[in-house]
Structure 1
């Protein structure tokens, strides 16, 4: 049983060793200086995550911090554990992803200076969080300390109660210093798993939609776009085409732009939408225009919108007027592919 009581209040300053002593068992105490995701299962059923901006830079990423958020409220981006090679959605990252199903309360801490004397890192308690049910994580790419390109998973954490959350401007994701276009491999149909772990396909490839319970009530999360690209990538492979994408970091901004798909063989950039509506097509046109200007050989780069069905004649005319090609799914494949 714990020997020292620690009350988790926003702004509390403590150390990992003190938290392990107060909430954990011997195993948790041994992990006090190990990866940034630490389960405290018995008897407290908590999951502590520690964000350390300085250590993040050393490990080849700099994605942690508060983002601009969205209509549902603020979001804290938290990079999963695994300093070398591709990160996986199993192990401790899997525990974080599925913390609600495992009955674990998620609590966020940020490294904030050092304790004197002793030099232990000071951990500031931010508050209780939950992994976003609708959009739990995004993939990011960066180089590890050895210079190898690798995938990292950035989890999107939302405060359970914003009034009980220590949100400070200094904890925001920092804007990029320069614009960088990073070529990245094509998405994988199945997320990589740890050795010996059972493979599990992502929901976006298995179902047409899922029901996510979020603070604003039930919300239908459409997975058609994921299914559309799975089918299109298979179509490209059968046609002998090579494809990939890019991660575009823009100077002065905190977000990363990631086009849906780049057909290397035909030098075509695709943006896909799960619904064939005018609003979606207009959005895709704008996204393609934004991506295109950052890429090399933009003057010869062709752009196309990928849709699950044929749009109306006027939407087709809009695409033609904007110089954007159209590819849409049919019963037998994809109309408009390959581009003329």
Structure 2
């Protein structure tokens, strides 16, 4: 006999059986889709995640779109993927909008000592951030090895609970560590069918009263040299915002230029940086490890984009160091077309280089590599 329960609202604590009664999903696993209930239930257990080098939860830093809840994808061994059976759960999150399913987040609240059921606290309904739905992140796995995980960026839709208990802890200190990377394989990237379709448009958000965010201990902040991120996602232009289009242009520009550098025998990647007092993770666009050059790509040569690139380069370059190169890297802005002469003068004034694509697709500019 099924017992009828009152509707589950943010902050409520329920067993998985009770959650399944209202929102469906499987009796086990972290990512549990339900066609019948039009839901993808995301279960987060901090005691498990921290063993594998990652944290789920609220970022302390908010932007003009509100708060972000980071949720790490499925796969506890090796690199995570969107492909095949191992990527089923990750695809369910990525495609939730086109499949008309809502993302619901639950955090472990009670873990009984005996055989009793676990209880989970309901955080609320979410959708993927439109401008940056997910990022690849390098984390420490078993035996102190590194692996790539998918970190989804979730935006709340409607009522939600923002508890200090769910805050991602801030780094206690800033440190830098150079880590050689394994090449990102095709299986780690989005396949066409898995990423076709519109990202959801967040509903009007209501902001409840916030409790002060409590800082928690975290591993030392570190800048990690990782494989440069590749985006092959094809978003629906009907739903893509200007920001998401810009992200895709920047990613495609970076990918193309990276191929040029690697054709010349250069080792390329990126730097992953955590800063003291921050819970979010910074990631550079492209780093040329052979020549110690840091690139920041932008989707246009507008004054706003060039200004932003300069600021990001000045910020990131402080942390981009390796055991053999303790000085800051040469900074270069990468653009799809030449900026105005005034912006070129601004770059030169700050001793920041410039590379851009010509009409024939070749990369030119004062700091373009010599193809020989």
TM-score by length of 2: 0.77
Q: Is the 8 Å Cα contact of residues 56 and 69 (structure 2) preserved in structure 1?
A: no
Q: Which residue of the other structure, out of 325, 334, 337, is the alignment partner of 2:363?
A: 334
**How many Å separate the matches in 2 of 1:250 and 1:219?**
25
**Aligned with 2:250 (options 221, 225, 232):** 225
Q: How does 1:72-151 map to 2 (within 5 A)?
A: 72-89=65-82, 90-115=87-112, 118=115, 120-151=117-148
1:244-323 paired onto structure 2 within 5 Å:
244-296=269-321, 297-299=325-327, 301-323=329-351
Tell me: CA distance 1:146–1:120, structure 2 relative to 1, closer, same or farther (3 Å).
Answer: farther
Q: Confirm or deny: 8 A CA contact 1:111 1:123 kept in the other structure.
A: yes
Structure 1 position 74, deviation (Å): 2.1
How far did residue 58 of structure 1 move?
0.9
Q: How many correspondences in the alignment?
A: 324
Q: State the alpha-carbon separation in 2 of the partners of residues 321 and 243 from structure 1.
A: 27
Higher strand share: 1
Contiguous gaps of at least 5 residues in structure 1:
none
Work out the CA distance in 2 between the residues paired with 1:186 and 1:327: 27
Structure 2 residue corresponding to 1:192, chosen from 188, 193, 197 = 188
Alpha carbons 1:190, 1:201 under 8 Å: kept: no
Given that residues 184 and 247 in structure 1 are in contact (C-alpha distance below 8 angstroms), is that contact kept between their aligned partners in structure 2? no
Displacement of 1:69 in angstroms is 2.9
Alignment check: 8 A CA contact 1:309 1:329 kept: yes
Change (3 A) 1:210 1:327: same
Encode CA deviations 1:190-214: one digit per residue, 9 max, x unaligned. 45269xxx66697854769834268
Which residue is 2:162 aligned to?
167
Do the aligned residues in 1 keep the contact of 2:195 with 2:234 (CA within 8 Å)? no
Closer, same or farther: CA 221–290 of 1 in aligned 2, 3 Å: same
TM-score for the superposition, normalised by structure 1: 0.84
RMSD between superposed Cα atoms in Å: 3.0
Residue number in structure 1 paired with 2:199: none
Give the unaligned 5+ runs of structure 2: 197-230
Are residues 165 and 202 of structure 1, via their aligned partners in 2, closer, same or farther at CA, if it must alter by over 3 Å? Answer: closer
How many angstroms apart in 2 are the aligned matches of 1:205 and 1:84?
24
Q: State the Cα deviation string for residues 110-150 of structure 1 (Å, max 9, x = none).
A: 11233587554321111122222332111211111332211
Quote how far apart the aligned CAs of 1:283 are. 1.6
